[in-house]
Copies of this chain bind each other. A is one copy, B any other.
Amino acid sequence: MTIYDIAREAGVSIATVSRVLNGSGKVGERTRRRVQAVLDSQQYIPSRVAQGLASRQTSSVGVLTVDIRDVHHSSIAYMIEQTMAGAGYSTIVCNLGGTPARLRGYLRALLSHRVNGVFFVGSVFLNEPYAQPIRELLADVPVVVVNGLLDMPNAYGVLVNECEGTRASVERLIAAGRRRIAMVCSSPTRSDENKLRGYEQAMAAHGLETVTAQCARSLAGGEEAAAGLVREHPGLDAIQFAEDITAVGGLRALSAAGLRVPQDVAVVGCNNSTYCDICTPRLSSVDNRLVEQGRAAAERMIAALQKRPAARVVRLSCAFAARETTDAPAHGE
């Protein structure tokens, strides 16, 4: 059964069937349902292969992540999928697994599937081993980076002001009377650089000395870093972490060292993830608004695909999610 037969059986034009198949253009809900019923009854499978050759267009987008097990990445991928589905696009998620080695292969696979656009989740994609193949291979489709901006005319970015978010969090600690505040970073990414800069700005503004540490992006990494910090810096009264998972590890180390949180040491994470409500005490966190990042990225992509004018960069602000590991600032906010 061809698209012509479907159109005849549903009593609509071929163009209408095509719009229903592609989930694009305006089709009334009743008409859509009638066409879908015929498609379903015939178990019609549109040959995207043939369609692709004819129109060079499929209704799908690709999402590249480094590690889909990371709640940060999977939350954003989930929101992208939900939002793109509303506009009639299927979302194909590809997961690289820690090294840039397979990026080229995945980009080729997505291109040969004729995806309409590609998302990159994570500022790690701005690093040169990733950015180079992206520039080489993706010159012809819209590219949206969630949290960053690539130097390409067809690239769009969702930027979360994590520098400002971290600065505000450290200012909050200072307002609550904390003075010896350390910062723990855990990935060699633009995102972590921005967080570190925010910390340094807040400390400099109050003439306070910085103490920084670097650790593996894991529970054990954060635990080790915090244990080292309190050993080498007695009197430390707060730690700002670049990730919730490392902050949660930090809580373990502080407890093992006999330090009370937040009475002796205040702790703040970043991502405002599920982890914050699972650990004890519950973790205060810089909320870099993962759900909004995913939604904004998808909306930016849809605008690009529909050739609607829209800003090249969408900027989001962080919020602060206060829980039990920080105290209220001494003088309010």
- Report A's interface with B, CB cutoff 8 A: 23, 40, 43, 45-53, 58-60, 67-69, 71, 74-75, 77-78, 81-82, 85, 90-95, 97, 102, 104-106, 108-109, 111-114, 136-137, 219, 245, 248, 274-275, 277-280
The docked-state distance in angstroms from the alpha carbon of A229 to that of B2 is 59
Are B90 and A105 in touch, CB under 8 angstroms? yes
Given known contacts A49-B114, A92-B92, is B69 in contact with A75 (CB within 8 Å)? yes
Are B45 and A137 in touch, CB under 8 angstroms? yes
A219 surroundings in chain B (CB, below 8 A): 274, 277-278
Total copies of this chain within the assembly: 2
Given known contacts A49-B49, A112-B46, is B90 in contact with A106 (CB within 8 Å)? yes
Are A68 and B60 in touch, CB under 8 angstroms? no
Beyond A92-B92, A219-B277, 9 additional contacts (C-beta under 8 Å) are A45-B112, A48-B113, A49-B49, A49-B53, A58-B113, A68-B74, A91-B95, A93-B93, A278-B278
What distance in Å separates the Cβ of A57 from its nearest Cβ neighbour in chain B? Answer: 11
The 3 A-B pairs of least Cβ separation, nearest first, read A48-B112, A93-B93, A280-B280
User: Which of A52, A58, A77 has the most C-beta atoms of chain B within 10 angstroms of its own C-beta?
Assistant: A52
Are B109 and A85 in touch, CB under 8 angstroms? no
A74 surroundings in chain B (CB, below 8 A): 68-69, 74
A-B contacts, 28 of them at CB < 8 A, read A23-B105, A40-B104, A43-B136, A43-B137, A48-B109, A49-B49, A49-B112, A51-B112, A58-B113, A60-B109, A68-B93, A69-B74, A77-B95, A81-B94, A85-B97, A85-B102, A90-B106, A90-B109, A91-B95, A93-B93, A93-B95, A219-B274, A219-B278, A245-B274, A248-B278, A278-B278, A279-B279, A279-B280
